[in-house]
Every structure is written in C-alpha cells, then in structure tokens.
Chains A and B, each alone.
Chain A
C-alpha cells in the first residue's frame, strides 16, 4: 500500500515539475534572433536550402560528433554483451520462396534509395541519419529472408571505422585550409550553384560519411542480435 502511495506522489511531482512550461507558453509569431541568424546564414554564407542540415553539420557540428561517438559506444556495448557463437542445433527456418524472390528484388532498390537520401541531404528533407537507417533496414530485409549472403563482419567493421576517421579528417581539413578556430567549417570546397548537387562546400561529403557510418553501426547491432547463439 505504501508503494502505491509513493508512486502516486512521484507522478504528481513530475506533473508539478512540468507546470511552468505550460504556464508561460506564449504563442510566438516571430523567429528568435538566433534562429533568424541561422536561417539567413545558411542561405547567404553556405548556399544551402535546408536550414536544418546547416544547423546539424555546421553550426552545431560538435553535437553531431558527440552523437556519432555515443552511437559507436552503444554498438560496441551490444557487440560485447551478446556473444556470437554459432548455434549447435541449427534449426533454421528457411524463408519461403515468395519472400526470397521479393527480397532479392527489393533490397538493391532500397539501398539506392538510402544513398539518394543521404547524398541529397542539403537540398531536400533528409540527410545522413535518415539515409543510414534506410540502408540498415535493407540489410535487415536481406538477413530475415535468409538469402545466401554471408555477412562479412570484417567489411562492416572496416567501413564503419573508416567513415568515422574520414569524418574527423574532413573536419580537421577545415582547420588546416581555412585557419585556426574553424573546425568543421565546410567552406574550403567551392560553393557552387544554388540547388545543385555539388554545392555548399564539403557538406555533401560530410553527410555521406555520416550516413555510411550510421548504416554500418545499425546493421552491426541487428547482426549481433540475430546471431545470438546457444549457451
């Protein structure tokens, strides 16, 4: 009985904690000055239509670096906790013929769609994280349909670590080529024409490598969960 009372008190405490947010929630009709600075900077300085990409890659680039680190730690933790011994009693249920045919037709299309999303991240809604997750879901389809596609763990780990290293190197190139105090500044490649693919500096390159890294990491998580063997 005392436990229910304590749970009730905790819930009421959390509701009271959120109350000031509701209380002075004025409906805003003008952009904040900082947001106005970011939106106008992304069109004039960086030549990029998608302001959210400008904020994620350039103006808040260190947060993206931290997030990539957290994803890497989580993948390493999952891979460490779940052992990958092969099953001794291999009672694998093969997928049906329909599933195999459909999956072998659809998976390359889904991978191409994912690559399109993360290379055009600066022109339309999308970017590295969304494209990486779409590529990982294509690999999940291939794993579930049990195609005779042996997972090469070495290639996965190699491509993931290579993408991470290239991402940091591209940021350091900004320091070398532009000057001190400009880590992850993408203005050392030409700005290009507005709304074309090769525009706004090094941002397509940076986002593509982030996309490859996220896709490889999520595929590695799915692979560790799938192959968890017996005791």
Chain B
C-alpha cells in the first residue's frame, strides 16, 4: 500500500515537471520519472502478503496434485505483472533515446533548448 502511494506521488511529480519547466531536457527527465512511477504501481498491485519470488527450485518445494496441477509449500508472488513491467522498462529506454535524439536535432536547427522558441505550430 505504501509503494502504491509512493508510485502515484512519483507520477504526479513527474507530470508537474513536464508541465512547468522550459528546458527540453528537463521535460524528458520528467517523462522518465513518470515511467518509473508507473512501474512501481504495477508491481505493487501484484504483491501477495508474505510471499517470495516466483522461482520454483529447491527452496520452494512442491508436490503434484491429482488434477494435473502443483501445490506449493509456500506462497509465491504473481508472475504476470513482473513480465509486463520487464517489457515496459525496455520500451521506456527506447522512447527516451528517441526523444533525446529529437532534442539534438532541434538544437542543431535553432541553437536554443528553450521550448518557447519553437512556436511555428502555434496558432
């Protein structure tokens, strides 16, 4: 529960950083903070009380039940949110790299990193 609230606060601080700063690199930093906050929220939703990591080797003994399933000796955490967050972290890095290469190109065109100087699309 604590980590859920911490993740939501990180998302709020990141969105505020995206809205209130003028330097383009600071806006991209805010985007990266939002990403980290969302991953914390997803992992916090999938947690089971007093459970361990979902890797079933000699430390978590199991036995097979009659209906073609297994019964674990101790509880394990949900593996599905871990798999989703794994994908999301790598995609977050790829999008951040793309945003920063756009920043470099914009700097080469105009010579300034202030977002108030790029007003061609405003009406």
A interface vs B, CB < 8 Å? 7, 10-11, 14-15, 18, 21-22, 25, 27-32, 34-36, 38-40, 42-44, 49-52, 54-56, 60, 63-64, 67, 70-71, 74-75, 77-78, 81-82, 123-125, 127, 129, 195, 214, 218, 221, 224-225, 228, 231
List B contacts of A195 (CB < 8 A): 57
List A contacts of B94 (CB < 8 A): 70-71, 74-75
Q: B86 an interface residue at 8 Å Cβ cutoff? A: yes
List A contacts of B41 (CB < 8 A): 21
Q: B82 an interface residue at 8 Å Cβ cutoff? A: yes
Cα–Cα distance between A224 and B97 once the two chains are bound (Å):
11
23 A-B residue pairs with CB within 8 Å:
A10-B15, A10-B19, A11-B16, A30-B48, A31-B75, A31-B76, A31-B78, A32-B78, A35-B79, A39-B54, A39-B72, A39-B76, A51-B54, A56-B87, A70-B91, A71-B94, A74-B97, A78-B98, A81-B102, A82-B104, A125-B53, A129-B86, A195-B57
Secondary structure type dominating chain A contacts: helix
Cα–Cα distance between A173 and B108 once the two chains are bound (Å):
48
B86/A18 in contact, CB under 8 A: no
Cα–Cα distance between A88 and B83 once the two chains are bound (Å):
46
Cα–Cα distance between A141 and B49 once the two chains are bound (Å):
41
List B contacts of A70 (CB < 8 A): 91, 94
* Shortest Cβ distance from B67 into A: residue: A40
| Other-chain contact of A28, B4, B16, B49 (Cβ < 8 Å) | B49
A51/B55 in contact, CB under 8 A: yes
List B contacts of A25 (CB < 8 A): 1, 4, 45
List B contacts of A11 (CB < 8 A): 12, 15-16
